[in-house]
Every structure is written in structure tokens, then in C-alpha cells.
Structure 1
Amino acid sequence: MATVQAVLRKKKNTQNLYPVTIRITKDRRTSFISTGQYIDEKFWDVRNRRVKKSHPNASRINYLILKKLAQANDKLLEAEINEDSISASHVRENVKGNDKKDFFDIAELHLENLENAEKYSQYLTQKGRIGKFKKFVDKDTLHFKEITVFLLKNFESHILNQEKRKPRTAINYMILIRQIYNLAISDGLAEQSNYPFGKGKIQIRIPESDKVGLSIEEVKMLESANNLTDAQQNAINVWLTSFYFAGIRVSDVLQLRWSDFKDGRLLYRMNKNQKVVSLKVPQKAKAILDLYKESGLSKNDLIFPYLRGTNFKDAKEVLTRMKTATRTLNRRLELVAKHLKIDKKLSMHIARHSFGNISGDKIPIQMLQKLYRHSSITTTITYQSSFMKKDTDDALDRVINF
């Protein structure tokens, strides 16, 4: 007796989505066929063994489920008619053979899962990387066994030498290709024996990033800058607000509302990790915020004007407006740096590095963890190590100053 059923397998991926699979049970042995689709558990109809209509791709995924069910049942029926002995895993392999997916098929499913999870920033970034890899190989179909160490080395060289990109960018491409390859292996769509990553093959090592922050003197130059345009002064005000609150991210600064400030404290939820933040409002920050108080503003209004008019229920629109505003701010900050003769790349992101640079060894690492809102103190230690130079400087002096 054999059974074939659609199930949501309790084996979530890195996006906390679960795979929609076909479960084949025969002779008390079970095997699974992947549909290549991942959904949130709330979209699965347990009783009817299908995707709920509330899912944006319900019709498409349910059609795919029916197709896979039919293929599996056909194989079982064919074996029964011919009185052949067939196992659950044999059925699985036969169905897989009828619907073998290549690298770009799995990549497309991966992108769909990101989009359905409303992770639009990752979706757009990774879609661009997959498109560039596809252009490099110059073919629409790429079987996993074709992704060799030689091919990946050539692609890495292309990114570094032809595209003139940084090593970290090349590594990001390799991480994405490896992620998609791993998805295919976990779903039985690629062979581990052909895997091009690991010891003696492509090894991914994250290089240490060069974190450069402004000095106290350079921050003071921003605070006292004059002869600037209104647009440039607004950019400085946003940058200083980020800096005064221990380097909060530009996405959080631009979405600050008057309702986020209560009893002299900033209380808000970070976009990146949804952590609740409570920070004292320094006097310097209060002076900037007071510049943006206007009559008629409600407590729910944004403090800075860059995202006003945005539909915050539309995540794609928010992402697009955020990227545009950040580019605009960074261009204006570059002009400010040139005007003030600051010989460092001035951007919104460097506000966080500047806080780290100035704090250096002065603040206990546990307190910095709280200020940075890091989940792990190891993250704080790794981040702050770029700016903690006193011990190494003293050690160097003790050796050479004789």
C-alpha cells in the first residue's frame, strides 16, 4: 500500500519559510519530492493539503502540487499494472527525472521566496547578481554539474578585473551561488559530488573591512560648518543626528517621528532587527530636532522631510524612496567634505564608524553593545576592534622608544 500526499515539511530555510513537498510512503518507508516552493506556515491549509488562497502565488503553487501528485501516482500505478516492485525513493527519483531544474530555475524560485517574504532589498540585490552571473555564462540554462571551480574562478576574476569591483563584492557573488547550490542539494536537485565549494575548491573567506570614521576635530568641522546650501546643511543635520544617537542607521533616522520621543528619550524599533531602542536625547541632538519643528505637525509626522508622502504600507515604495534619499544625502555630504577639506569619504554609513572611532577604548565593550544594539557581544568586539588602537600603539611605543 502506497500513499502520496502534499505536505509542508517542518524544515525551514534561512528565510524561516517551509518547503512545500510531496510525501510518498510505501512499505513503511517515506521519501519527499520537492516542489521548489517555500511558504510561511500560516499559508498552508493542513486539512486540504494545499496553499491557502491568501498566498499571492497560491494558484501557481497549487497547480504545481497537483502536477507533482499526478506524476508520483502515475509512477505507482504504472508499477502496479506491471507488477513491478518499486520503493518510495524510486518513485521520487523517477519524478525528479521528469522535472529536473537547473541553476537558474532554482535561483528564480529563491528570488520568488524573497519577494513573497517581502525582503525586497535582498530580492533586488540578489536578482541583479544572478542576472550578472547569467550574462557572464552567456546561456539561459546552466546545469549544476557545469558550475565548476574553473568557471567560478573565471567569474571571480571577471568581477575583480573587468568590473573593477572590490574583493568583498566578488565574495558576495560566491556566497549567493553557494546558497542556491545548497538549496538544490537539500532538495535532491544537485549532486554533492559535483559541489564546487569547500576545502581544495572554492573557499569563501570574508575579508576584514576597512572601517574609517571621522575624528573629533572632523566632527567639530561639521558642527560648525558655514557657507553651505540649505540642502547640504540638511544632510549634515541628518548625519549628526545619526552620530549623536550612537550611529543609528540612515533607514531609521529618516523614519523617525515626533512620537518616537518621550520624556527626553528616543524610543523606537530598529528596522534591521526589530529591537526596541531607548536612548537619552543629547542636547546637541535636541538642538537639531528643534530646527524641524513646524506648526501644524502632528506627533505621527516624520521629523526629516525626505520620506514624506511615502506609502509605508508598500514595502517596495519605502525601499525605493529610502535608496533615493540615501543617495541624495551621500552626494551632498561628498560636497560638504570637499568644501571643508575633509580627506575621507563622507557618507551616512560613516556616522556609525565615526562613533566607533571616537569611542575607541573609552567605553566598556558591554556598554558599546547596548549602544550599538548588537545581539551578541562578539559582534561588538569584532566591530570595535577596528577602532581600539591604544593597546597596540602603547605596545609599539614600548618596543621602539629606546
Structure 2
Amino acid sequence: MATIKLVLRQKPRQDGALPICLRITKDRKTSFIYLGHYLQPDQWDDATHQVKKSHPNAKRLNNFLLKKLAEASDEALDLETKTKHVSAKAVRSKLKPQVGATFFPQADNFLAQLKAHGKYNQYTSDKPRIEHFRDFLNGSDIAFSDISAGLLERFKAYLRTLKTYRDKPMGERSVVNHLVTIRSVYAHARKNGVVTKDQSPFGENGIKIKFPDSIKIGLTVDEVKQLEEAELSDPAHIHARNLWLFSFYFAGMRVSDILRLRWSDIQNDRLHYAMGKNNKGGSLKIPDKALKILEQYTHLKENKDDMVFPELKGCDFTDKFKTQRTIAFKTSALDKCLRNHVAPAAKIDKKLTMHIARHSFGNISGDRIPIQMLQKLYRHSSITTTIGYQGNFIHKDADDALDTVLAFEP
């Protein structure tokens, strides 16, 4: 008969903490199931197989562990009753769905899937948010049924006490993004059959996720001209400016799409590409100013399917995660160059990044272009997105209304 015990396995994390596991032994063969909790060695009692009372959350954690041990023992007994010959590995396979039906095992599986699907940006954003939730719970796992709207409100209050890497309080947008990540783990758990829709603390009868209004500031026409005309001598600075202007000339084309461009995407003086964010395809006429930029890179062209710009040359595009990571690193370097060198040379005191090219196109287009055409240029899936986005840059009516009210004789 299989024996199941709670143990602290000797495979430490970087901080020295060891994982709490269920150890399954059958016919002298052993298998382990990780329960999503870690302890320092002096917090575990080997004699009683329990968390020591000195641990700040000992009672709750021990209750959780005993519950999992009982569930596992019952499942193992049921399996061995139905099956004459069963291995430790088979018992583990039978038990794992049950013991993984709490938040952090599902969160870890969610992150693993993001990584497997090459979603580097979301992975690197969601992973620290999940760790903040773990820290809020003092390193303990938690059942989905115990995550209430009230607990999430306390989590929000906790996040506001944290400092960012610049030693500033966490912004409200970041706080809300943490809730979005937890909601994503819930959605993942629903797909795995671990929770149902009515168990979610979000939605009509739960906590509401509302993003604060963000301020989008782009360059003006004069500032874009300053950027175009700025005297630059360093090739790296010229290249960063080229990519920024190329993005602007194509209605704020995203940097990830720019870096992926191949010479084969250019046909009949048109640029054909599908936007990586939503896979919406289309083509645009290549403006004369963009043609002049492309001419600066023709000497690097090795074949018709070669990359237009050098950042991703030699990149293994079959590894989506590494490709996204490379794009993130290259974008960070471009943004640093734009902020520290290009903007000062152009006498621009606004924060200059690759993404600001998209805001700048929105700012300059204002309400002069029909919203349906802007949707096409931005490659938005929904016109509602375009209306909301462009609302950041249309000020004329509000400005006129303010002037009307203030246009009185004292």
C-alpha cells in the first residue's frame, strides 16, 4: 500500500527556503507533489511533519496541509481499491489535480503557459504581481474560495504601501494591473475545471476593475520637425531617430512590428504587414520620408527576405519567448538613446520613447481625420478603442467652450 507523508524537500530556492511536498512511496519507489509553499528549514518540525508554531501563519498553513494530506490519502486508498497494481507515479498522477486546485499552483501553471506561448512581456509583468500577492499572504497558498472581494481590497491597500524601483509609491494603474493578473489566473483555473464562474470575486457582485484615466502626451508638429532636423553624428543616435520617425510616418507603427519587418514586406512602394498585437493585416503607401530612411539600410540587405533593420538579424523566430525578450531589450536600448541623446539634440524636453511616436501621430491628427480611417491606420480591432484612444488628443471643443465662458468683460 502507498504511504503518503508531508515533508520538506531538500531543494532550496535562492533564499534558502525549501518546498513543502507530499511524498508518495510505493514498492520502495518515491514520487513528490509540490504544494506551492516554502519554508526556512528551522520553521519545519520533522518529528510531527508540521509547520512550527513560531511561523506567523502556522495554524492556517497546518490546516491546509492536513487537509491536503487527508484528501491525498483518501484518493490513494480509493485508487488502490479499484486497481490491484498501482505505482507511486500513478498515485501522484491521480492526486495532482486535487492538490493543485489552489491559487499558486494554478498561477505557476499560468505563468508556465505564458512562457511556452512566447509571451515574454506579459510573463515578466505578471510574475512579480503574483509574487506580490504571495508576499501579501505571508508566503502561504490560498484556496480560490477564500479569495474574496474584501481580501482583494486589503491587497490593494497593501500594494499602495509598496515602493517602486524609483522609491515612489505604486501608482493606481499598477495596483489595478495586479487585480487583472489575479483575474487572469482565475480564468486559467476555470479552463482547467478548478473553479466555476460564480466562484470568482470579480464581476457584478464582486470587486470592480476600473482603470484610472491615463495621460497621453505626444509631440507637436514643430517638435517633430525639430527631431527631423536635429544635427546628429553618432550612428546609434541617427538609427534611433530613424526608427522613431519611421514609426511616426506609419501612423505610430509599434516598435515590435518595425523590428520584425523584412524587405519582402515592401512591394510596389507599399508596406504590407500584420500587426503583432492583434494580427490585423493591411498595407500602407510608403511616404517619401520613410523611403529616404529605408535607403539608409539597403546596403545591409543580404536577400529579399532579410530583416530591414538590424536588431533581429540572426534571431531564431521559432523561439517566440526569446524573440520577445530580444525585442524588449532592444526597445529599452532605443528608448534610452532617444531620452539621453536624441531628445536633447532636438531641444525636446518631453519624454521621448518609441511608443511616443504613436501618441504623437494621435496628437497631430487630432479630429482632422475621420475616426473610421484612424481605426484603419491604428489597426484597432474595435472602433470603440479608437474613440477612447483619440479622446486623449482632441481638445478643440473643450478649449473653445472654456474660452466662451471666460470671454467676458470684467
Q: Give the structure-2-normalised TM-score.
A: 0.70
- Once residues 330 and 348 of structure 1 are traced to their aligned partners in structure 2, the CA distance between those partners, rounded to angstroms, is 6
Give the equivalent residue in structure 2 for 1:142: 142
Change (3 A) 1:298 1:190: closer
1:205 aligns with 2:205: no
Count of aligned residue pairs for this structure pair? 319
Looking at structure 2, the residues matched to 111 and 245 of structure 1 have their Cα atoms a distance apart, in angstroms, of 34
CA displacement 1:294-328 (0-9 Å, x = unmatched): 06632212121112121112112211210110000
Query: Does structure 1 conserve the Cα–Cα contact (< 8 Å) formed by 2:111 and 2:127?
Result: yes
Q: 1:148 to 1:267 in 2, by over 3 A?
A: same
The 5 Å alignment of 1:26-37 reads none
Could you say if the C-alpha distance between residues 195 and 252 of structure 1 is closer, same or farther in structure 2, counting changes exceeding 3 Å? Answer: closer
Q: 1:387 aligns with which of 387, 393, 398?
A: 393
Which residue, 347, 357, 360 being the options, matches 2:353?
347
Once the 2 structures are TM-superposed, how far is the Cα of residue 127 of structure 1 from its aligned partner?
A: 2.3
- 5 Å-filtered alignment, 1:1-400, equals 74=78, 99=99, 101-163=101-163, 164-184=169-189, 189-190=194-195, 195-198=200-203, 202-294=207-299, 297-335=302-340, 336-400=342-406
Contact 2:230 2:345 in 1 (8 A): no
- Larger mean CA deviation between 158-167 and 381-390 belongs to 158-167
Please, what is the CA RMSD of the aligned residues? 3.0
Q: 1:188 and 1:323, CA in 2 relative to 1: closer, same or farther beyond 3 A?
A: closer
Q: Which amino acid aligns with 1:109?
A: N
Q: Equivalent pairs: percent with the same residue?
A: 46
> Structure 1, residues 353-395: CA drift from partner, whole Å, max 9, x if none?
0000000011111111111111221111111111111222222
Q: Deviations 1:224-260 (Å, cap 9, x if unpaired)?
A: 0114422111101000000000001000111112111
Do the aligned partners of 2:338 and 2:352 also contact (CA within 8 Å) in 1? yes
Distance 2:97 2:261 in 1: 53
Unaligned runs of 5+ in 2: 1-71, 83-94, 164-168
Q: Distance in 2 between matches of 1:301 and 1:195?
A: 48
Match of residue 49 from structure 1:
none
Deviations 1:131-180 (A, max 9, x none): 23223322242223443445423332333332222211111110111232
SS in 1 for 2:253: coil
Unaligned 5+ runs, structure 1: 1-67, 79-94
Cα pair distance change 1:338/1:72, threshold 3 Å: same
SS of the residue corresponding to residue 162 of structure 1 reads coil
The DSSP-based 3-state class of the residue aligned with 1:294 is helix
In structure 1, distance between residues paired with 2:316 and 2:252 = 26
Shift of 1:339: 3.5
Amino acid of the residue matched to residue 316 of structure 1? F
